Amino acid sequence: MTQDYIFGFNTLYNFFFEIITNTINSTIVSWILPNFSFNPGWIAYILSALTISFLIFNAALMGAAVYTWFERRIMAKFQGRYGPNRWGPFGLLQPIADGIKSITKEDIIPTGADRVVFTIAPIVMMIPGLLVFAFIPGHINSMLGKINVGIAFVFGVTGMNTIAVIMAGWASRNKYAMFGAMRSAAMLITYEVPMALAIAGVILLSGSMSFNGIIEAQKIPFIVTQPIAFLVYMICATAEMSRAPFDMIEAESELGGGYHTEYSGMKFAILQISEFMAPIVQSALCVVLFLGGFNGPDFIPGILWISLKIVLVLFILLWTRSTWPRLRVDQIMELAWKYLLPLALLNILLIATEMTIFDITQSTSLWIMGIINWATILFILAFLSLFKNFNKKTVQQKY
Amino acid sequence: MPIKTEPTIINLGPQHPSTHGVFRLRVSFDGEKVINVEPVFGYLHRGTEKLAEERTFTQIVTLTDRLDYESSMTNNLAYVEAVELLANVSVPERAQYLRVLVSELQRIASHLIFTGFFLQELGVFGTLLMYCFRERENVLDLFEMLCGARITVSYMRPGGVTQDAPPEFWKNLDDLLNKLPQLLDDLENLITDNEIVLARTKNIGILSPQKAIDSSVTGPILRASGIEWDIRKANPYEAYDKMDFNIPTGSNGDCFDRYLVRIKEIRESINIIKQCIKSIPKKGPIKNSEVPFFLRPESGEVYSSIESPRGELGFYLVSDGGIAPYRCKIRSPSFINLTVLKPLLIGWKMSDLVVIFGSLAVNMGEVDR
């Protein structure tokens, strides 16, 4: 049936579909159109689709809101502070207080700003993050949009984020914002390349571009079989969502906020929500691509497994964020082009070679692959650490 | 065909997260590269030197608290040193040791602030700032026990100090001295070998020894350039001649050395405080009782300087025999150290600008006076 093809949320979908069909049959069809033969299926189809989308998008926004609380609490723990703990249990209602504050604030558009672009930019920034959630499977076949090139779609869509940053920076008519936007553009060009190449290894091994296929192929999570791709992907994902040590787009000690310097009120809140949604999106992708998605022992449902893994990855990201300083612009570029890109290419070479040698349907050969690749990455890291300070050539001048 | 470009001019400050108060830099950028810098200051000018002419010699102590508000104790010390030299007042030995002790505590507090904010400017999101401030809090608690104030202490007077240390002060001081080396080790574990910190600070903003001397830079910045100059050794005041300590120096004169010298200085300060505790007279006066409330030094002029956490802090006092100085000139280390800023910055990236400026550790209360 159609709904099986489009929707993975079968139970949920059937539930809504039944209710809506019954309602339509018992009201419109029986009262107004008793003499016509009329199948209300398509109306019910659209309505239940809208309901499920509504639920998922609101869950995503809610997740971002809870994540703001999570981040602030965890960072506070790292720093020896309390964090927000006043409103609600453990301060859990803090996001609501923040939301009310943002809504009631004055919405300022600076003089000379491009009003249209300035207003659109937060929306453009928000939509890609929301769209990705339609493709994260909570269980086998359980996703809103089931397309067989999910991974290509997701990476196309998340690239939009940078366009929004450039729009915001350009339209603000502020030099700090413009600096942030230009840095963001440079980052996009640089980090999309090794990221895509890292994922090429995943696609090679799983033989599929849909998230379902990738998860099904992970009898052993890909972090075991391709650690190089995982490393490159995680670094690129951190750069992609401009978190420390790559947070030069905002860089508050330099740019005082970067592209959102001029934003206030609800527009700023939307920018912040989409910024806080980015780590969730990226760690969800990381879980799907490398940590086996919803796979796990059966006593916990898949949707909980994937959530737990996402929280774990988020915690690790916060850990790095609270300990590491920021890299300089040229150092970030250097890292991507000189280290990550060759590593990603090496990963593809290794995986392709091993796939021709081993029988990848056997789990023993997958383990052997994993051992070889882990040995390689550890050797490379040890080798690189011999040449520690990769900044040694920057003696530009001496005063 | 070459594209016509022009530099972007940005006003960094006076409201900017990393200008250490109200400092303004008009910076011309070519892309990310700094091509010209124009420092603008004076936003915090309060006319301290002129106000001093209207106050008695004792009242001026409170003005000096507000100069470098991160190290009030050493400001007090520099001023009362000058007055004692002018009026020829002797200081009891216990007071001398107390002065050395509190000024070394102040040096620890000030250097901890520097480390925290330096890492903040490098982009650590507040974590190390919080760690440093937590330990500085203990030092401020000690000051509170001594004189009831934490920042604006006004602890010293011409001829001694205001109050003797209460018994619980010594206990808490011991606790702090036991804890501090552990914190420093933790900090160094996090920072000193951190690959990103090294990449951001090593070989950045190099100040050569010759230029450092030519622009009369003092303090940790001078020592980071490799010159062993410390007024505590070169011209010992109070009880410093009885102390045994080293002068940590850097080799390269870059931002990393400026950080490392300060961390090493904290360790030396701990060492000095321990010697102080050991050799301080157990009893005795803390104030010269012969000093009258209205001090009337004979007419004359005097210059006296001490080693503050930021460098040579000097007071030039002229007396005409009255109850207030005829002229009070302050040689503030931050102001002099700022003179190297422009040539240090030109040619570096925007991110380096913030780091280099942070490594100079200027304090605007002292620059603008």
Q: Is the pLDDT of residue A5 over 50?
A: no
Give the model's pLDDT for residue A388.
56
Of A252, A328, A395, the CB nearest to B200: A328
Torsion-angle region of A219 (φ positive above 0: left; ψ -120 to 50: alpha; else: beta): alpha
Mean pLDDT for the stretch of residues A320-346: 85
The answer as to whether A137 is a domain residue is yes
Look at B343 and A326 and tell me if their CB atoms are within 8 Å. no
Checking if the pLDDT of A11 tops 70, the result is no
Neighbours of B34 (CB within 10 A): 22
Residues in chain B: 369
* pLDDT on residue B364: 86
Mean local confidence (pLDDT), A192-210: 87
Average pLDDT over residues B84-105: 89
Query: Is 50 exceeded by the pLDDT of residue B212?
Result: yes
Closest CA to B176 of B134, B132, B138, B128: B138
Q: From CA B57, how far away is CA B18, in angstroms rounded?
A: 36
Backbone angles phi, psi at A259, to 5 degrees: -65, -25
Domain with B14, as residue range(s), is 8-366
State the smallest CA–CA distance between residue B222 and chain A in angstroms: 13
Token pair belonging to A241: 């969502």
Q: Which residues of A touch B202 (CB under 8 A)?
A: 389, 391-392
- With an 8 Å Cβ cutoff, are B206 and A398 in contact? yes
Of B17, B190, B347, which is closest to A396 when you measure between CB atoms?
B347
Instruction: Give the A:B interface size as CB pairs under 8 Å.
Output: 114
- Assess if residue B85 is contained within a domain: yes
Axis crossing angle, helix B127-147 with helix B93-122, rounded to the nearest 10: 160
- Say yes or no: A171 and A92 in one domain: no
Contact present, B77 and B106 (Cβ < 8 Å):
no
Whether residue A3 has pLDDT greater than 60: no
Would residue A247 count as lying in a domain? yes
CA distance A273 to chain B (A): 19
B74 phi/psi in degrees, rounded to 5: -70, -30
Per-residue model confidence (pLDDT) at position A35? 61
Give residue ranges of A with CB < 8 Å to any B CB.
75, 78-81, 175-176, 179, 244-245, 247-248, 251-254, 256, 321-331, 388-392, 394-399
Number of domains present in the structure of chain B: 1
* Residues A122, A83 share a domain: no
For residue A175, give the chain B residue with the closest CA: B10
Cβ distance A113 to A173 under 8 Å?
yes
Say whether the peptide bond before residue A245 is cis (omega within 30 degrees of 0). yes
Shared-domain flag, residues A60 and A175: no
Residues in a beta bridge with B349: B33
Contact call for A328 and B8, based on CB within 8 A: no
The end-to-end CA distance of chain B, in Å, is 52
Chain A interface includes B182 (CB < 8 A):
no
A230 pLDDT above the threshold of 70: yes
Same domain for A342 and A316, yes or no, is yes
Whole-angstrom CA distances from B322 to A78, B55, B56, B87, B326 are 57, 11, 9, 12, 8
pLDDT of residue A142: 62
The closest CB to that of B122, out of A75, A326, A395, belongs to A326
Confidence (pLDDT) at A30: 64
**Among B43, B18, B174, CA closest to A326:** B18
Q: How many helices (H) and strands (E) does chain A have?
A: 16, 0
Span A41-70, pLDDT tens digits: 677 777 777 777 787 788 888 888 888 888
**Contact yes or no for B90/B290 (Cβ under 8 A):** no
Residue B2 in domain: no
Q: Which domain holds residue A92?
A: 9-104
Interface contact B108, partner A, CB < 8 A: no
DSSP string across B203-250: TSS---HHHHHHTT--THHHHHTT----HHHHS--TTGGG--------
Final residue of a structural domain among A76, A104, A132: A104
Sheet holding B8-12, edge to edge: B8-12, B24-30, B33-40
Give the residue with greater pLDDT, A36 vs B245. Answer: B245
Cα B333 to its chain centre, rounded Å, is 8
Summarize the confidence of residues A332-343 as an average pLDDT.
86
Q: pLDDT tens, A106-161?
A: 888 888 888 888 888 888 888 888 888 777 776 666 666 667 788 888 888 888 88
How sure is the predictor about A257, in pLDDT bands with cuts at 50, 70 and 90?
Answer: confident
Answer whether residue B3 is part of any domain.
no
Q: Is residue A156 part of a domain?
A: yes
pLDDT of residue A36: 61
How many Å separate Cα B32 from the centre of its chain? 31
Distance from CA of A325 to the nearest CA of B (A): 4
Q: What is the pLDDT of residues B119-166, one digit of tens each?
A: 888 888 788 888 888 888 888 998 998 888 888 888 888 888 888 888
Inside any domain, residue A4: no
What's the structural domain count of chain A? 2
Q: Quick one: pLDDT at residue A49?
A: 74
CA distance B208 to chain A (A): 6
Higher per-residue confidence, A42 vs B54: B54
How far apart, in Å, are the Cα atoms of B20 and each of A292, B69, B122, B330? 48, 12, 14, 20
- CB-based contact B203 A326, cutoff 8 Å: no
**pLDDT tens track for A12-39:** 667 777 777 777 767 766 666 666 666 6
- Tokens 């150092």 correspond to what residue? A331
User: B203 and A325 in contact by Cβ < 8 A?
Assistant: no
Which residues in chain B have their CB less than 8 angstroms from residue A328's CB?
199-200, 349, 351-352
Residue A9 has pLDDT above 60, yes or no: no
> Which is higher by pLDDT, A396 or B336?
B336
pLDDT of residue B361: 85
Residue to mutate among A74, A253, A338, with most B CBs inside 10 A, is A253
pTM for the predicted model, two decimal places: 0.84
Local structure of B161: helix, strand or coil = strand
Q: Which residues of B touch A331 (CB under 8 A)?
A: 199-200
Q: Is B131 on the interface with A (CB under 8 A)?
A: yes
- The pLDDT of residue B316 is 92
∠ CA B185-B189-B192, nearest 5°, is: 105
Contact B335, B33 (CB under 8 A): no
Question: Do the domain assignments include residue B338?
Answer: yes
Q: What six digits make up the tokens of B265?
A: 């200085």
How many Å apart are CA B256 and CA B250, to the nearest integer?
9
Task: Confirm whether A84 is domain-assigned.
Answer: yes
Residue A1 falls inside a structural domain: no
Please, which residues have CB within 8 angstroms of residue A357's CB and are 6 or more apart in sequence? none
B16/A256 Cβ within 8 A = yes
Domain contains A338: yes
* B122 inside 8 A of chain A by CB: yes
| Number of CB atoms found within 10 A of residue B172's CB | 15
Whole-number percent of chain A with pLDDT over 70: 86
Tokens of A16: 């809504």
Answer with the one of A59, A76, A104 that is the final residue of a domain. Answer: A104
pLDDT higher than threshold 60 for residue B220? yes
Residue B200 distance to chain A (closest CA, Å): 7
Question: Residue A342: pLDDT above 60?
Answer: yes
From A12-26, A182-196, B199-213, the region with the lowest mean pLDDT: A12-26
| Cβ contact A399–B123 (<8 Å) | no
Which residue of B lies nearest to A324 if distances are taken between CA atoms?
B124
Domain end, chosen from A104, A128, A153, is at A104
pLDDT at B19: 78
Q: Are residues A206 and A85 in the same domain?
A: no
Query: Which positions in chain B touch A329 (Cβ < 8 Å)?
Result: 32, 349-351
Q: B47-81 in b/e burial notation, b at 16+ Cβ within 10 A?
A: ebeeebeebbbbebbebbbbbbebbbbbbbbbbbb
The string over A301-327, giving b where at least 16 C-beta atoms fall within 10 Å of a residue's C-beta and e elsewhere, is ebeebbbebbeebbeebbeebbbbbbb
* Residue B358 domain flag: yes
Among A268-272, A391-395, B27-31, the least confident range: A391-395
Residue of A nearest to B340 (CA): A399
User: Between B32 and A21, where is the model more confident?
Assistant: B32
A287 and A336 within one domain: yes
> Tell me, what's the pLDDT at A10?
58
Of B10, B202, B354, the CB nearest to A253: B354
**Are residues A341 and A360 both part of a single domain?**
yes
* Residue B352 distance to chain A (closest CA, Å): 8
**Distance to chain B for A265, nearest Cα, Å:** 21
Query: Are both A94 and A219 inside the same structural domain?
Result: no
CB contact under 8 A, A388 and B195: yes
**Closest chain A residue to B127, measured at CA:** A79
pLDDT of the residue at A7: 41
Q: Do A389 and B198 touch (CB under 8 A)?
A: yes
Same domain? A126 vs A166: yes
Same domain, A247 and A325: yes
Look at B125 and A321 and tell me if their CB atoms are within 8 Å: yes
